[in-house]
């Protein structure tokens, strides 16, 4: 049935994997694209990157950060998502580049998995950096087996090297030459990686998680300054060359509804109590 959760798995505290039945999306989705969920009638529209497809279903991996994602993570196998729109956005520019460096941070690892897979399929040599705050949050590690090299970093050193992804990135760039890079993860990580890429004159794709409403270019809420131009993340992106992104205004716009998010979240916790399902 359309939009039924056919599989659900907790990967780490607050990080949940969903397989959703939706043949249209699973057959059309390409790496880099996203969907918009509205969990229930009163829900807001939340964009989520598609993390893989299989026959009639597609995968998303969600980190619970606020009311909507807490609610989403509370749903069980067999339940339905009220509205699912997609696939949306321009797919990743995947072709034969030669040597590619891919960086995934936290739940961003879910987004880079299908990109890495497709790049390898196109004959690229792919080096991967997976980063997270601690070892539990290094997810989907076995999906990168075909990569040439895989490097792991954690903030606390509980797995791999104790470093931030951009620090390891710089180390690699000092020794190796890459033709292009991808970095997907928290906004600050993407910003730091983009600064390193700029320094080494490397094209780097980042996937911007702007606040959006419709996802089809209709509201302009996701606008971001790319060099001197205003672009819409939903249709012109979500991937842009990180070197061209105006990170200051992007980060500011992400915090637009912080107060409202807090109100909604506190009201919600009052209603449901301890979020034991996370």
Would you tell me which residues interact with another protein (CB under 8 A)? 24-25, 28, 33, 38, 42-45, 67-68, 82-88, 213-221, 223-225, 230, 232, 235, 246, 248-249, 252-253, 255-257, 260-261, 263-264, 267
Identify which of residues 85 and 187 has a Cβ nearer to another protein in the complex: 85
Q: Which residues contact 90 (CB under 8 A, 6 or more apart)?
A: 32, 33, 235, 236, 237, 238, 239
Phi–psi pair at 214, nearest 5 degrees: -85, -35
Is 112 flagged in the annotation as binding?
no
CB of 14 to another protein, least distance (A): 19
CB of 5 to another protein, least distance (A): 16
Is 81 flagged in the annotation as binding?
no
Interhelix angle 258-272/67-74, nearest 10 degrees: 40
Distance, in Å, from the CA atom of 153 to the CA atom of 226, rounded to the nearest integer, reads: 29
Is 63 flagged in the annotation as binding?
yes
Is 62 flagged in the annotation as binding?
yes
CA dihedral sign of residues 149, 164, 107, 111: negative
CB of 222 to another protein, least distance (A): 9
Is 73 flagged in the annotation as binding?
no
Identify which of residues 25 and 169 has a Cβ nearer to another protein in the complex: 25
In sequence order, what are the beta bridge partners of 53?
58
Identify which of residues 118 and 261 has a Cβ nearer to another protein in the complex: 261
CB of 129 to another protein, least distance (A): 30
**What are the DSSP calls for 109-157, one per residue?**
HHHHHHHHHHHHHTT-EEEEEEEESSGGG---GGGGTTSSEEEEEESSS
CB of 64 to another protein, least distance (A): 15
Is 6 flagged in the annotation as binding?
no
Identify which of residues 134 and 255 has a Cβ nearer to another protein in the complex: 255
14 closest CA partner among 76, 48, 62 = 62
Residue positions forming the annotated binding site for [2Fe-2S] cluster: 219, 222, 234
Residues that constitute the known binding site: 61-63, 219, 222, 234
């Amino acid at each position: 049935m359309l939009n039924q959760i056919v599989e659900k798995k907790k990967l780490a505290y607050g990080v949940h994997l969903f397989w959703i039945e939706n043949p249209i999306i699973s057959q059309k989705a390409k790496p880099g694209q996203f969907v918009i969920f509205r969990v229930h009638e009163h829900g807001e529209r939340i964009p989520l990157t598609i993390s893989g497809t299989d026959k009639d279903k597609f995968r998303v991996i969600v980190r619970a950060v606020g009311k909507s994602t807490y609610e989403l993570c509370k749903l069980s196998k067999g339940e339905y998502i009220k509205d699912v729109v997609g696939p949306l956005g321009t797919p990743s520019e995947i072709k034969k580049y030669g040597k590619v460096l891919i960086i995934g941070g936290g739940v961003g690892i879910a987004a880079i998995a299908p990109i890495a897979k497709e790049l390898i399929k196109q004959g690229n040599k792919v080096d991967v950096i997976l980063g997270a705050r601690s070892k539990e949050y290094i997810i989907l590690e076995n999906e990168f087996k075909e990569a040439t090299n895989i490097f792991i970093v954690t903030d606390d050193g509980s797995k791999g090297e104790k470093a931030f992804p951009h620090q390891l990135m710089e180390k690699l760039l000092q020794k190796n030459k890459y033709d292009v890079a991808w970095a997907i993860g928290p906004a600050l990580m993407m910003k730091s990686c983009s600064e390193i890429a700029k320094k080494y004159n490397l094209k780097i794709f980042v996937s911007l998680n702007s606040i959006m409403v419709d996802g089809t270019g209709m509201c302009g809420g996701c606008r971001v300054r790319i060099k001197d131009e205003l672009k819409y993340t939903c249709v012109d992106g979500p991937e842009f060359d990180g070197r061209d992104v105006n990170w200051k205004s992007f980060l500011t716009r992400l915090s637009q509804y912080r107060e409202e998010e807090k109100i909604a979240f506190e009201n919600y916790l009052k209603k449901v109590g301890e979020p034991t399902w996370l």
